[in-house]
Amino acid sequence: MKRSERVEAVPPSGIRRFFELAEEKDEIISLGVGEPDFSAPWAARQAAIDSLERGRTSYTANRGRRDLREAISRHITRYDLDYGPDEEILVTTGVSEAIDVAMRALIDPGDTVAVAQPSYISYVPTVMFAGGEPLPVPTFPEDDFQLTFEALEDAGAAEAEALVFCYPNNPTGAIMDRTSLEAVAEFVRDHDLTVLADEVYAALTYDGDHTSIATLPGMRERTIVFNGFSKAYAMTGMRLGYALGPADAIDALNRVHQYVMLSAPTTAQFAALEALRSSDDEVERMRDQYDRRRQFVLSRFDEIGLDCFEAKGAFYVFPEVPGDDEAFAEDLLQEQDVAVVPGRVFGEGGRGHLRVSYATGLDDLREAMHRLEAFVREQEITL
């Protein structure tokens, strides 16, 4: 069948090939997973079950249930964000949908969209599906993978219409401190960019509190903030996220959303409402677990002798490896049955690194790091 040029222009996900390699092996330990190893809080699951028992299986309002939007509006005050439930919040089918509809609602064909990289793999394709031109902006280990004014300038982002980034970051685990965010905000204001800030890992910040760029002076009116339930509440399969922004922007997102999605999954909305109502302790408990594993993995990389900056968010670390990251990851999988994701699949600046997810129990983490160490030692001998 004829396939559209738009689709043909987007290469298949680099993660896909690795997934297929990993699937060929049994009994691997995977540190390649981009989702929590916990299950959704029981109260949230129970709320979903209750809603089904009561037969609540119809569509909701396009923008999501009013009570859920009210709860989100209250919840986000913890990040000093203030968005009203009626016009400034859109509930979506995961952050993924929110990003897609935002690109389509805000980007014209030919518009340039700067994408901070390494980053989650869907930003570039969604820009392209919207007819925009992605412009990679690299981040560097020497900056702890924070986005900088200089990198934006050097990449030519001044000409872009919009900038998309994700902090705490997948795949690096980097966070943006306030000073670095201020520099980015200055660039964005100077060149009149729209910001798409994916903050889905905001609750998983291990050193101080998460700062949203939308809270900086002059930024609210030019920023869409994305957050959701997948990571903090371990609800990936429920597919529920939301976008926050000025009323005219959210109205534009909703215009796409109402035609392509109608409304986010109803069952998931009930689960999310309960998660916001009662699951702070549960989130904190998971966060503590991640933090311990984070410190464990960072210590082990230090002992193994691979450079790894101190990731302070999400559930990833991003060590440097000698030589080619893809070959390293492939050999590690074949020889030691440990799966990680080569950094290059996340774009500019990812080469020579591995994404190592610590959303895995400590027993498996310990064993995987043991094997990784053995693998590195063996390589050192053959070098």
Partner 1 sequence: MDDRRKVLELLRENARYSTEDIARQTGLDAEEVADIIGALEADGVVRGYMAVVNWDELDENHVEAEVELNVELDRETSYREIAQRIAKFPEVSTLRLVSGEYDFVADLEGESMHDISDFVADQIAPIPEVTQTVTHFVMTTYKERGIMLETEDDDERLSISP
Interface with partner 1 by CB under 8 A: which range of 69-77, 149-157, 185-193, 289-297? 289-297
In the three-class reduction of DSSP (H, G, I as helix; E, B as strand; rest coil), residue 81 is classed as coil
Report the site for partner 1 in 54-113 (rule: CB under 8 A).
none
Interface with partner 1 by CB under 8 A: which range of 76-84, 195-203, 212-220, 291-299? 291-299
| Residue 285 binds to partner 1 (criterion: CB under 8 A) | no
Least distance in Å: CB of 247 to partner 1? 32
| Residue 33 binds to partner 1 (criterion: CB under 8 A) | yes
Interface with partner 1 by CB under 8 A: which range of 20-28, 40-48, 135-143, 219-227? 20-28
Query: Which CB, 77 or 334, lies closer to partner 1?
Result: 334
Q: How far is CA 260 from CA 49, 146, 150, 249, 263, in A?
A: 26, 34, 38, 17, 9
φ/ψ region of 116 (left if φ > 0, alpha if ψ in -120 to 50, else beta) reads: beta
Least distance in Å: CB of 110 to partner 1? 27
Least distance in Å: CB of 37 to partner 1? 7
| Count of chain residues binding partner 1 (CB under 8 A) | 27
Report the site for partner 1 in 150-179 (rule: CB under 8 A).
170
- Output the DSSP codes for 259-295: HHTSS--HHHHHHHHHHHHH-HHHHHHHHHHHHHHHH
Report residue 238 as tokens: 């429920």
| Residue 292 binds to partner 1 (criterion: CB under 8 A) | yes
Least distance in Å: CB of 347 to partner 1? 12
Applying CB under 8 A, which of residues 22, 68, 174, 356 lies at the interface with partner 1? 22
Report residue 342 as tokens: 């080569």
Q: Are 75 and 276 in contact (CB under 8 A)?
A: yes
Report residue 130 as tokens: 């919207």
| Residue 370 binds to partner 1 (criterion: CB under 8 A) | no
Q: What backbone torsions phi and psi does residue 283 show, to the nearest 5 degrees?
A: -60, -40
Q: How far apart are CA 130 and CA 100, in angstroms?
A: 8
Query: Which CB, 121 or 311, lies closer to partner 1?
Result: 121
Q: Are 104 and 97 in contact (CB under 8 A)?
A: no
Single out the residue of 242, 215, 246, 213 nearest to residue 227, CA to CA: 242
Least distance in Å: CB of 189 to partner 1? 31
| Residue 37 binds to partner 1 (criterion: CB under 8 A) | yes
Q: Are 119 and 169 in contact (CB under 8 A)?
A: yes
| Residue 327 binds to partner 1 (criterion: CB under 8 A) | no
User: Interface residues with partner 1 (CB under 8 A)?
Assistant: 13, 15, 18-19, 22-23, 28, 30, 32-35, 37, 120-122, 170, 292-293, 295-296, 299-300, 339, 341, 362, 366
